[in-house]
């Protein structure tokens, strides 16, 4: 793991800021899920080459490469239990130990959102744990990001659009606060499939409401000169709602779908770009808990950036044929 001083350096923060600013929210026509017409649930893109076809046949994004060692009675949601778990992994792997026979190898700890942030703060807060950072790498579980991105979409757009669309399709069904991933993925796939049929109408309605809003603002100013006050501009809220709807269909839904596709494909650059777009969605959200996710995403980006510029073996593996195993 890199030094904390480098993670918080201007170089990395500027790079992260530039990548986030360069994200194009008018993304629908460039999305992999659109170009490859992805309609499968769980999300899986159509292979464009023999290499992709052979890679996806292996289903490396599942549990085929998962080999459990044992189950331990340890609560890793508490710092005491997390330390015990890290110590147990250290005994198995040998990272951070002077007596280890490992000379040119690194150990990767795959963690979910909560344990990733706990481990990150823990390892960088106590100097006694600095030896662990020498030959280990904590990696934020990519499937956890995919799952929580669906939760975020519901949290942001449930009241304004998604709930109405859901009950229009399923009037007798119950809509839970956090629908299952398969249900959400299926529903979002149907929404993406329907978007081309009304996209032009949405753009026209947005353009019309903008024009009416501007005309009303001009009339408001003219009336104000006569010492009269008109009611608040009725088109402000309509423009905002149409903007949010365009943002949902043009950027959010294809971005979430593309991240799921990137997990299936054997392309590190594609996966990293999908992660940046997901980061952009979380950064724009005001839902509860998104700040915690953004902290984890920033830490993950800074760590990967460090490994990239140092050309270490971990990035070379990710750039090759084993990204799906993670």
Q: Is residue 283 part of a domain?
A: yes
- pLDDT band, very low/low/confident/very high, at 322 (cuts 50, 70, 90): very low
What is the pLDDT, as a whole number, of residue 114?
86
Q: Is residue 180 part of a domain?
A: yes
CB 266 within 8 A of CB 323: yes
Q: Is residue 122 part of a domain?
A: no
Q: Which domain holds residue 170?
A: 4-48+153-287
Percentage of the chain exceeding pLDDT 70: 92
* pLDDT tens sequence across 220-262: 888 888 878 888 888 999 999 999 999 999 999 999 999 999 9
Residue 43 has pLDDT above 60, yes or no: yes
* pLDDT tens sequence across 141-199: 888 899 999 999 999 999 889 999 999 988 888 888 889 999 999 999 999 999 999 99
Q: Is residue 113 part of a domain?
A: no
Model pTM? 0.85
Q: Is residue 207 part of a domain?
A: yes
Rounded to the nearest 5 degrees, what angle is found at the Cα of 166, between the Cα atoms of 165 and 169? 90
Residue 321 has pLDDT above 60, yes or no: no
CB under 8 Å to 227, separation ≥6 — which residues? none
Q: How far is CA 122 from CA 9, 92, 111, 160, 230, in A?
A: 20, 20, 14, 40, 58
The pair of structure tokens assigned to 291 is: 């700040």
Q: Is residue 57 part of a domain?
A: no
Report DSSP letters for 79-125, one per residue: HHHHHHHHHHHHHHH-TT-TT---SS--EEEEE-HHHHHHHHHHHHH
Q: Is residue 208 part of a domain?
A: yes
- pLDDT band, very low/low/confident/very high, at 309 (cuts 50, 70, 90): low
Q: Is residue 216 part of a domain?
A: yes
What is the pLDDT, as a whole number, of residue 97?
75
Residue 210 has pLDDT above 90, yes or no: yes
Rounded to an integer, what is the distance from CA 320 to the centroid of its chain?
Answer: 22
**Most confident of the following: 52-66, 165-179, 200-214:** 200-214
What is the pLDDT, as a whole number, of residue 94?
81
Is the dihedral angle over the CA atoms 19, 242, 150, 269 positive or is it negative?
negative
What is the pLDDT, as a whole number, of residue 316?
53
Domains held by the chain: number: 1
What is the pLDDT, as a whole number, of residue 105?
77
Write down the mean pLDDT value for the chain. Answer: 85
């Amino acid at each position: 793991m890199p030094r904390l001083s480098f993670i918080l350096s201007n170089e990395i923060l500027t790079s992260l800021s530039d990548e986030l600013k360069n994200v194009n929210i008018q993304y629908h026509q460039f999305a992999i899920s659109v170009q490859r017409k992805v309609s499968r649930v769980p999300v899986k893109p159509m292979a464009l080459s023999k290499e992709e076809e052979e890679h996806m046949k292996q289903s490396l994004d599942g549990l085929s490469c998962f080999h459990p060692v044992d189950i331990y009675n340890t609560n890793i949601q508490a710092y005491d239990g997390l330390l015990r778990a890290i110590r147990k992994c250290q005994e198995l792997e040998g990272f951070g130990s002077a007596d280890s026979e490992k000379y040119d190898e690194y150990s990767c700890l795959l963690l979910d959102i909560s344990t990733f942030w706990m481990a990150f703060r823990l390892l960088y807060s106590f100097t006694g744990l600095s030896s662990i950072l020498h030959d280990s790498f904590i990696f934020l579980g990519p499937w956890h990001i995919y799952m929580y991105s669906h939760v975020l979409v519901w949290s942001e757009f449930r009241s304004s659009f998604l709930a109405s669309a859901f009950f229009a399709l399923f009037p007798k069904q119950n809509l839970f606060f956090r629908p299952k991933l398969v249900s959400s993925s299926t529903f979002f796939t149907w929404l993406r499939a329907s978007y081309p049929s009304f996209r032009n109408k949405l753009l026209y309605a947005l353009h019309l409401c903008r024009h009416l809003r501007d005309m009303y603002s001009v009339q408001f100013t003219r009336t104000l000169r006569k010492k009269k006050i008109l009611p608040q501009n009725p088109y402000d809220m309509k423009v905002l709602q149409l903007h949010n709807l365009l943002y949902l269909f043009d950027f959010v839904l294809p971005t979430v779908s593309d991240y799921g596709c990137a997990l299936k494909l054997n392309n590190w650059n594609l996966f990293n770009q999908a992660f940046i777009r997901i980061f952009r969605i979380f950064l724009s959200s005001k839902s509860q808990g998104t700040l915690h996710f953004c902290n984890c995403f920033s830490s993950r980006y800074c760590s990967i950036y460090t490994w990239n510029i140092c050309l270490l073996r971990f990035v070379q593996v990710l750039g090759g044929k084993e990204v799906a195993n993670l």
